[in-house]
A and B are shown apart, each in its own frame.
Chain A
Amino acid sequence: MEYQTEIHYQHMFLDIADRWAKIVISTDEGYTIKTKLFATLYILVRNSKESMEINISASQKSFTKYPFCQLLLSLTRKDAKTLRSVVSSIRNDYYKLSKSRHSRSLDKLKYMTVEGLFFEILLRERGITPSLFTEDLLERLSEWFSKHGNHEYIPFLWTFGLAYGISLKNEHITKEIQWGNYNLLGLSLLSYFFFEAYKRNNDIDSLSNHYIATKYMMDKLRAILEHTDNPSEETLDTVFKVGVLLHLSGYFSSLSLPNEERIKYLDLLLRIPPLRRRFESIMDSSLQIGFELDNLQVPNTPIGIKISKKFKIPLWVVALVSLLISIGVFIIQITHQDFLSLQNLLIISLVVNGYLVYKLSRLKNEVLKKLERREKI
């Protein structure tokens, strides 16, 4: 089934992006060049084209204030030569900003990091090398953000590294993500990088993070969708950027499934893998020390299931009992030659151990099955 015929909020977003891209491109006045170019870029990615002619005048002053103006222009014009020189000049700006002692440099660098990573994805898609974010620049940025306490910007860098196989040397980086801290573009970048990381490493953690980011992103999109009559240019720019990223990440391929199937598929991917992983990790640790569950939740997300299970086995007791039985068997065997006592001890030992193994494995299978069926546990 084609996604165009389905009714769902993801689809609505595509409709809106398509509609506004057409309006922005075809309206002569009223939109800045920046917004027109983002609309063009969206259409290019949407239709898998490389360049498109639009009627704009690059001399508009508002445009030159945007730090990525030339890059944006070159990306819509299949102009690899200019792209390379522009990329190198923008990279220099990052270095300049990171050395500046000005108060606004930090703000500008934060802004340019998020915005620049969006372009980085497009550059890599186009195979432009060297691209904007070299390993050295990534290191420098991660150190800079750590130093200034802007830890919320670091996930962009390590997830970018994860997506493209670059590992950061900075030891102070935290890999915890506070999802609520990010705006729409930030969330779509994280969603994109995690998806790329999943494709590169076949790593289920990245896939689940990709879907968590996507879920948060869709929640934010809803707010935008409420104001579709008169979106501001900032909103339109964001809509086009997010549209580009969603198309590039192949997220909309899941939309080709029938509606019911797609929801099931998204639901399964969104809920079960992280929960299953979480349970398994608790289970593994509990085999050593016992476990007690009040509820089960994916960290830092609202995704969870209410659960109440308690199974505490002090493993050292099991081990001690086994040891004592073994010693007992050994002593009896050497000293008393009492076959009956030995037999009794062996039977007791087997029953105890067997019962424990049976109980544990049954509980594990029961919980996992219920999770799959999404039944109350």
Chain B
Amino acid sequence: MSTIHAKRAEEYLHDEAVALRHDATFFGVRQKRDRMAQALPEWEQLRDAASQIKKHTVTHLADYLEQFAANAEGHGVHVHWAQDADEYNAIVYDILSSHNVKKVVKSKSMLTEECHLNEHLEAKGIDVVETDLGERILQLMKLAPSHIVMPALHVHREEIGDCFREKGLMENLKSQDNPTQVPSDPNDPTFLTFVARLHLREQFAQADAGMTGANFGVAETGDVVVCTNEGNADMSTSIPRLHIVSMGIEKLIPDLRSLAVFQRLLARCGTGQETTVYTSHFRGPRPGGEMHIVLVDNGRSSILADPEHWQTLKCMRCGACMNTCPVYRRSAGYSYTYFIPGPIGINLGMLRDAKRYADNVSACSLCMSCDNVCPVQVDLSTQIYRWRQRLDGLGRANAMKKLMSRGMTILFNHPALYTTTLRFSPAANWLPSALMNSALNPWARGHLMMKFPKKSFHQLWKELEKESRNQ
């Protein structure tokens, strides 16, 4: 009867050390974010402004999209429009194949995950290389991201070292002019990063095309703004002559002045840094090169038309809601069935395909911490509450919860029945402990059963009233 999320979370929690480490790691990121938030007196005003700007932009999206496309085209950029994932994948493949691209290097993009671009291109014989370190590790290990900003933070360095050795990445060490010795700890993080660096340099040099995502698209200028910590987006676009940008249509903002608001929030919320190490503006192709922007809808305009959920379009994918979510921290990314986990992932999954991704809706205690960290004030918990109201209609309600809710309703709608039940409830104390604390009682899995008092407040009230009158 439990959801897939609940079952996977239970399995995940069996290894207490791993689970505690995961929780501590991501709570640490949340605390770094808190220190950043506390250091800016205007923090809450920035959140207000960011939310207002996003609301304004997504409700005037058609105008800003036209302005953005016109400005980009004015700088010699080819702008493409994709209605869905299939169209997007086909457009990207057409661009790559018409340029005879054999290898493409990519910086991080959740949109390409959303559309399964890598699989599509690989099936057609194109070598796709992720260049964000975390993404590359996962690609080599054939794993999916478990977080949208720190996708491989759950993988331990021993596993990474083993993977690099198995995949032959250590061979690069020998070909250097000054060969590097393997340190006494073969999984030393600095050493492994160096190995990855050599490996990625080789990929950049060999690639025929570079792909990036977009953190922001500035309508006023046609700029695509990409934020990274590793400079891999810049490497991906500085060596190959062909640059393809994949951008969801909700990434648009009106002007550079608004960018300043988001620029101050994004890294502070996402990783607890003042800013990302690289914030690169791409305005047009470099000399002798070619630049394409693919603007992707893939369901976004339907979200905009949904009066209860349109505000999810404000999200700028900083990941702060995951880091603060007590359920995400204790269940980790793979417990969720949608590729984006945590509070925003629950909502985006439901918007993608409510029936298919309904298993994630249980992963919320409605603590509302996510609402309060979100830099653009998406009402994440309210939206999860709303999705729960729709589960029964989708045929995805939890039968036990339904039964309990119905039972309670009968009881609570009939005060006489309710008070009678209360009077007899202490009898439950006499049930054998083995029965009350058995596996059949889900409450008893984590708790010892409570004891009912001899008298309910309803019964005690008669005495209190009498006592008051006598005073």
Is the A/B pair a real complex? no
